[in-house]
Structure 1
Amino acid sequence: MSWSELTRGLRAHPVKPSLSGIARRRSLWARIHLDPWLLGMLLVLMLAGLVVLYSASGQRLPVVTAQAIRFSVALAVMVGLAQLSPTTLLRWTPPVYVAALLMLVAVELIGDMGMGAQRWLEIPGLIRFQPSELMKLAMPMMVAAWLSRQPLPPRWRDLMVCVAIIGLPVVLIAKQPDLGTSLLVTIAGVFVILLAGLSWRFILLCSALVAAALPLLWMNMHDYQRQRVLTFLDPDSDPLGAGWNIIQSTTAIGSGGFWGKGWLQGTQSQLEFLPERHTDFIVAVLGEEFGLVGMLAFLFLYLLIVGRGLWLAGTAQETFGRLLAGSIILTFFIYVFVNVGMVSGILPVVGVPLPLVSYGGTSSVTLMAGFGILMAIHSHRRLLPR
């Protein structure tokens, strides 16, 4: 066969293996309702988190193994929730919200104590968990469900209902006491309201009211919570007491320099000067051992996740999905901002873990459940006619 005959045959019967392969891959991800880019970035973050956790835990392999098992459970929850359509999520939102609210009431009545707080429910022999973590999803879901049935932008009476939906769980969580989680739950609900469309005049009015209410909040805070704020303003006022955590964390981050001291080579963490180094203060371990470069790499990965999440949220076709998806990814960003801010000394310490890096089970499952809902909203879009 001559070259001219071969080329004529190819023109007559063009073969596009690469395009068909791409189509098959896209159809595969569409069938399992997952976003490959977001899933890949989350897996990278989890693996990197396990590496940092091994050092932060004092090189205790059982801690890393336990966290890996929790990540596996969290991934399974994410995949399961991704299969649900937004219509199904909307239908189940009120029962889930009421169940989470009842569990918070149960915490108040029969909850387990730990580290001076009553935040846990325990099913003997099975599981011990924090119902407040479930409310981080249930509450914004309920606010989004309510607003999706109302004309937007929301009217005053609709906003009052939203305030009640947010206020009930926040009060119960604050009584545990758990200031950090109560603030995050509040922020998640506020994001839903903001995404529903509010005038700048209304936002400024609400900001002024919040500022005016700060003295009342101060008077109702526990002594240790007030001490955290005062320590944030002047950590050197009690360097061996309340200021110890923030002084040691900033020392660890600063000593890491540009490149860091090397994995497992941190002095503040390995010599146990740094408290809560495998949970709330794990960023200090990251900064000491991997330096500015390592911290920027983690922050860049977080920004990629947030950017992808915002893009997925922007593709939502229904009001409920758009409001909920936007709230989920923006709240994830607040997690990262608050944790890094409190460990580096620019925010008060409020007990917020670094997402998918700090040791913890319930928070990891909640975060991955949120990403599962985000993928469900994106992957169940209907093809609209042109």
Structure 2
Amino acid sequence: MFNNSRFLRRIDLPLIIAVAILILIGIVIIGSATHVNTPGNERYWYVQRQSIFALIGAALVFIMMKFDYRMLQPLGNKLYIFNAILLLAVDIAGHSALGAQRWIQIGPISFQPSEFSKLIMIISLAALLENRVGKLNTFKDLLPVALYLIVPFCLVVTQPDLGTALVFLAIFFGMIFAAGVNMRLIAILFGFGLSLLPIFWHFLKDYQKMRIMVFINPNIDPLGSGYHIIQSKIAIGSGLLFGKGLFQGTQSQLNFLPENHTDFIFAVIGEETGFIGTAIVLLIFLFLLWRGMRIAREASDNFGILLAVGVNSMLAFHVLVNVGMTIGIMPVTGIPLPFISYGVSSLITNILSMGLLLNIYNNRQQLIF
């Protein structure tokens, strides 16, 4: 049995509470967004499913606390190969929805491997970079790490899932920064990437091109690709300071706002809880990022630092892009809002990433609170 006082000092209780609050907010908002448009006895089907998998995720985190995260380091390459096989299986045997082939069906359960691949890539990259910390000074040093990213990146792009591919890049740059990469290399890479944008444009699918065009001017296709952004901004703006009240949002309840329980759930929060509600949600995310950076700073080894920075990079990019696209300052990419958007694969991945942070915190060198 654990000594209660010692056990509580070895877990990051504020982080657990913050994540629990976000999940509860998500469940309530999912209920608001879906209960009107879901028939009969399945009125709260999304709420029930999200709640069940939140509990499953919590149980998995408890299991994760039983081992030392450093046990994952020797498994980096094996996990990388498993990840590549899983993503390849989507291209071969996956099923399509919303114009993309991203899901694998096993019996009644459908899951999205690209969501889990984010956490797997964090672990694999951390294992690869652990012995390269402070040694990424030339392109020759950086090339093996970049090549390591290319295979899963390309497999995800072909699904097509450009949003997840961009998350991979955010994780990559966050982790090589933590590994002490020469910043001159980063500047050159960004410059090179910008120079390739005109070429990259020709490889985008028509709907992806249209998303970028409506990001610049939503009114270019107000009843098509621009519809989501226009309705989202209307919803958020109509919430004013205090919102219209839970379950009272007209844009969401009357089904004007598409994907209101997944990609555009932040717009529902804005409409129903106003500026105050959205500010609270964003402050909780900011708190999570602060805790994540503190855990990285207190980690006992480079592997732990890299893992924590990778998780933080993933979380920060998700929040930035999801919130940004709902208010019209980012293109629509289909990236969910962590812990709040409906989605079993996304929820479990994010909960497991928090479990990884808790494990690093539990095994840090000093007990600091």
The residue aligned with 1:133 is 115
Bigger Cα displacement from structure 2, 341-350 vs 368-377: 368-377
Whole-angstrom distance in 1 between the partners of 2:4 and 2:285 = 26
The answer to whether the aligner puts 1:366 opposite 2:329 as a matched pair is no
Cα RMSD between the aligned structures? 1.7
Q: Tell me the secondary structure at the aligned position of residue 113 of structure 1.
A: strand
Residue identity in the other structure for 2:204: M
Whichever of the two has the greater Rg, that structure is 1
CA contact (8 A) 1:34 1:82 kept: no
1:312: which partner in 2?
295
Residue aligned with 1:118, SS = strand
Q: CA deviation at 1:252?
A: 0.6
Question: What do the CA deviations read for 1:300-348 (whole angstroms, capped 9, x no partner)?
Answer: 1111111111111110121111011111012201111110000100000
Under a length normalisation based on structure 2, what TM-score does the superposition of the two structures give? 0.93
Identify the range of structure 1 (188-197 vs 171-180) with the bigger mean alpha-carbon deviation: 188-197
- More deviation, 53-62/305-314: 53-62
Local SS of the residue matching 1:149: helix
Determine helix, strand or coil for the equivalent of 2:61: helix
Secondary structure of 2:103's partner?
Answer: strand
Q: Any residues of structure 2 matched to 1:223-372 within 5 Å, and which?
A: 223-372=206-355
The aligned residue for residue 23 of structure 2 is 46
Q: For structure 2, which runs of at least 5 residues remain unmatched after alignment?
A: 37-42
| Residue 10 of structure 2 corresponds to residue 27 of structure 1 | no
Q: What is the deviation of 1:151? A: 5.2
Which deviates the most, 107-116 or 79-88? 79-88
d(CA) in 2 for partners of 1:39, 1:312: 13
User: Which residue, 183, 194, 197 being the options, matches 1:200?
Assistant: 183
The aligned runs of 1:155-234 (5 Å cut-off) are: 155=137, 156-234=139-217
Matched-pair contact (CA < 8 Å) for 2:96–2:102: yes
Runs (5+) with no aligned partner, structure 1: 1-22
User: Retained in 1: the 8 A contact 2:157–2:165?
Assistant: yes
Cα contact 1:34–1:79 (8 A) shared by 2: no
The aligned counterpart of 2:359 is 376
Q: Name the CA distance, whole Å, in 1 between partners of 2:214 and 2:328.
A: 10
* 2:39 paired residue number: none
Answer yes or no: is the 8 Å Cα contact 1:80–1:372 preserved in 2. no
Q: Which amino acid aligns with 2:278?
A: M
Give me the TM-score of the superposition, normalised by structure 1.
Answer: 0.89
Distance (Å, rounded) in 1 between the aligned partners of 2:281 and 2:186: 33
8 Å contact kept, 1:342–1:348: yes
Identity of aligned residues (%): 38
Q: What SS does the corresponding residue of 1:350 show, helix, strand or coil?
A: coil
- Indicate the residue corresponding to 1:104 in structure 2: 87
3-state SS, counterpart of residue 232 of structure 1:
helix
Question: Deviation of residue 253 (structure 1)?
Answer: 0.5
Aligned-partner residue type, residue 40 of structure 1: I
Output one character per residue of 1:349-376: Cα deviation in whole Å (capped at 9) or x when no partner: 0001111111100011111111111111
SS of 1:260's partner is coil
The code of the aligned residue for 2:257 comes to L
Say how many residue pairs are matched: 359
Measure how far apart 1:382 and its partner are: 4.2
AA partner of residue 98 (structure 2): M
Q: Give distance in 1, aligned partners of 2:245 and 2:366.
A: 50
